[in-house]
Amino acid sequence: MSDLQISAETFHNQPCLRLRHSSGDSVLVALHGAHVLSWTSGGVERLYLSPRSVFDGKTAIRGGVPVCFPQFNMRGPLPKHGFARNTAWTPVMQTVDALELELHSDADTQTIWPHAFRATLRVDLAPGVVEFGFSLQNLGSTPLDFALALHTYLNVQDLAGLRLQGLAAQPYWDDVAKTNRLEPGVVSFDGEVDRVYQTPAEPLVLVDGTQQLRIAQSENLADTVVWNPGAAKCATMADMPADGYLHMVCVEAAEVNTPVQLEPGAEWTGWQRLSLD
């Protein structure tokens, strides 16, 4: 008998699937955007979801784990962060060993991004561990390029004391200062932070009081985005409460500086794994 169960439910009137482990840990995923809304482990919510998020089946949801594909931010001609996070995905029916949803190219996607593809988001769950895997298959007759970010919002208790370890000596682009820099040590969060780091070989560790979260990602996701809007920017965001920045930080597994090139018929998979120490 499997330790996992999948059930359908609604959240703010949006259709969702819940993956539940016999330990009590669970993940909630909306069909809209294949958007991971919640990861609870040990009875504690580990992801941040803004209480001002819009749930209309059209608008990108603020928080959780948005799938930014096939474009990151405004780095290209598509809408911000591409279209995957604003599109309905389809559940994959299979034996319960993970939760999977698919997105297929159609007339709407090809209007703005002229490629035939199948994307899959897979969620694996174990006690104290969750993994998000993104796969893309090029179903067309020509190569395609894409960017990806698993835009993970982590729930934090003490932003002032928060420390992100493992990025020392890594180069990064500072989008606030608009310059390239080298990380001198441990990352702290005092004011707006918006950076794209070269991913180190070893996992990162987010230290939040007595809690530690280990953050790993596949080698083919060569970038790590670290973001917190800070007080001033957060106050201007309609889908965030003014103090929302105090309760979250984004640590994103990404491939945004050098887009992935995928040949016809080829398939690519990348992942991010979160584990409690």
Q: Which residues are catalytic?
A: 151, 252
- C-alpha dist (Å) from residue 150 to 25, 147, 190, 226: 21, 10, 23, 11
Nearest to 159 by CA among 192, 184, 185: 192
Three-class secondary structure of residue 86 per DSSP:
helix
For β-strands 4-11 and 14-21, DSSP reports them as: antiparallel
Q: Show the tokens assigned to 27.
A: 């993940």
Residue-wise burial string across 213-248, b where 16 or more C-beta atoms lie within 10 A, e elsewhere: bbbbbbeebbbbbbbbbbeeebeeeeebeeebbbbb
d(CA 57, CA 191) in angstroms, rounded, equals: 32
d(CA 51, CA 31) in angstroms, rounded, equals: 19
d(CA 225, CA 152) in angstroms, rounded, equals: 9
Burial of 273 (0-12, 13-18, 19+ CB in 10 A): middle
